């Protein structure tokens, strides 16, 4: 199909490129193709939506269509994980220019399907429209299966703060891509496709977590949301963070700053972070700090960290 443009195909041909051979999870009563999809949940519904815009959240010269498809699903399903819910289905809205290559379109669709498989969710519907710029909105439908949602509020003094997943990899990747480099490969790959710790939201809930959030804006910013919602102070222990070799290499190559900055302020890896009663942190999670009584703020080693306003403004794309 080389050379063909989206405008050359009819709407239904394009939809077939997305839905052909779609699997269907056992909780999907009715998949794509009618006015709405129908899902059967075991408990309350958790729902979240996430939009990615070309040249704002991704660049076609940095990421393949497959990467963009995977990332759009991963970023959204991570929000369901952060409630302690299990993703069941996603609906995907895709707006594209008519001159877009059909190959980009079908690679994107393959990426969406691949990440749905990784996350254990079914693609159950969507919408397809023309626009001047690629805009992708994914909405996740997730099942709390009888459990209470894990909110941002709920952290209690004495709790251990722990995370699961990766911190600072995507930010280090963005730092090198922004300067025109393509290595170290591990961080560049991480920027293109996050690896949320699927299933660990439920693990946290079952372990008795008091609160949970996914790291999308940056660890300090997202823990700041927990501190504000829970009205607690969070104190991180910098000695608990392991700086991976590629992050050290990036920091050294780009000016010798402290590579911890990527882990503290970089988003887009979609790690899960929350607080647990002492002794209840599940295996596979890393304790990085404590919840204290005190003003709602996030400290590092007992002091206000010396970074500018934390979060994606540093290392994430503008939006």
List the binding residues for substrate.
57, 268, 312
Kindly write out the interface string for residues 144-173 of this chain, putting x where it contacts a copy of itself by CB under 8 A and - elsewhere: x----x-xx---------------------
Smallest gap from Cβ 280 to a copy of itself, in A, equals 21
Minimum distance of a copy of itself from residue 309's CB (angstroms): 11
Binding positions for ATP are: 126-127, 152, 216
Least Å distance between CB 205 and a copy of itself?
13
Burial label for 280, CB within 10 Å (0-12, 13-18, 19+), is middle
**Residue 187 Cα distances to 168, 183, 249, angstroms:** 9, 7, 10
The enclosing H or E element of 190 equals: helix 185-192
d(CA 69, CA 88): 18
How many angstroms from the chain centroid is the CA of residue 258?
Answer: 24
Strand partners, 123: 90
Segment interacting with a copy of itself (CB under 8 A) among 62-70, 88-96, 164-172, 189-197: 88-96
Contact 98, 50 (CB under 8 A): no
141 part of the interface to a copy of itself, by CB under 8 A: yes
d(CA 32, CA 16): 11
Stretch that binds a copy of itself, among 64-72, 76-84, 165-173, 288-296 (CB under 8 A): 76-84
Site track 7-36 with a copy of itself (rule: CB under 8 A), x = hit = ----x-----------------xx---xxx
**Residue 290 in contact with a copy of itself, rule: CB under 8 A:** no
* Residue from 57, 71, 113, 290 in contact with a copy of itself (CB under 8 A): 57
Site for a copy of itself contains 44 (CB under 8 A): yes
309 binds a copy of itself per the rule CB under 8 A: no
Of 159 and 214, CB closest to a copy of itself: 214
Distance of closest approach, residue 27 Cβ to a copy of itself, in angstroms: 9
Q: How far apart are CA 267 and CA 257, in angstroms?
A: 18
Q: Is 252 in the site for a copy of itself (CB under 8 A)?
A: no
Task: Output 35 or 242, the one with its CB closest to a copy of itself.
Answer: 35
Residues 79, 50 contacting (CB under 8 angstroms) = yes
Give every CB contact of residue 39 below 8 A, 6+ residues apart in sequence.
Answer: 27, 28, 29, 88, 89, 124, 141
Cα–Cα separations (whole angstroms), residue 29 to 23, 47, 260: 12, 18, 46
- How do 297-300 and 233-236 pair as beta strands? parallel
**The one among 63, 72, 86, 139 contacting a copy of itself by CB under 8 A:** 139
Sites of contact with a copy of itself (CB under 8 A): 11, 29-30, 34-41, 44-53, 56-57, 79-80, 82-83, 85, 89, 91-93, 95, 124-127, 129-133, 135, 137, 139-142, 144, 149, 151-152, 212-214, 318-319
């Amino acid at each position: 199909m080389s050379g063909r443009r989206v405008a050359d195909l009819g709407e239904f041909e394009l939809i077939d490129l997305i839905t052909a051979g779609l699997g269907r999870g056992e909780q999907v009563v009715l998949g794509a193709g009618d006015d709405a999809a129908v899902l059967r949940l075991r408990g309350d519904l958790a729902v979240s939506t996430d939009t990615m815009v070309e040249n704002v959240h991704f660049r076609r010269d940095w990421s393949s269509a497959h990467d963009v498809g995977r990332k759009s699903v991963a970023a959204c399903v991570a929000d369901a994980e952060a409630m302690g819910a299990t993703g069941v289905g996603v609906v995907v809205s895709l707006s594209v220019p008519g001159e877009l290559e059909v190959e980009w379109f079908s690679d994107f669709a393959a990426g969406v399907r691949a990440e749905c498989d990784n996350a254990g969710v079914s693609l159950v519907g969507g919408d397809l429209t023309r626009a001047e710029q690629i805009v992708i909105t994914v909405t996740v439908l997730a099942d709390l299966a009888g459990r209470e949602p894990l909110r941002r509020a709920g952290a209690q003094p004495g709790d251990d703060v722990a995370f699961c997943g990766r911190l600072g990899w995507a930010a280090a990747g963005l730092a090198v891509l922004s300067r025109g480099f393509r290595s170290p490969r591990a961080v560049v790959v991480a920027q293109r496709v996050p690896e949320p710790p699927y299933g660990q939201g439920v693990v946290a809930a079952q372990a008795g977590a008091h609160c949970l959030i996914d790291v999308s804006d940056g660890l300090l910013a997202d823990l700041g949301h927990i501190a504000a919602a829970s009205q607690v102070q969070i104190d991180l222990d910098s000695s608990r963070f392991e700086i991976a070799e590629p992050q050290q290499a990036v920091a050294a190559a780009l000016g010798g700053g402290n590579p911890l900055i990527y882990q503290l302020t970089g988003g887009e890896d979609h790690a899960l972070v929350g607080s647990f009663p002492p002794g209840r942190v599940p295996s596979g999670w890393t304790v990085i700090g404590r919840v204290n009584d005190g003003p709602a703020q996030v400290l590092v080693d007992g002091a206000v960290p010396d970074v500018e306003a934390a979060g994606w403004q540093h290392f994430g794309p503008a939006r």
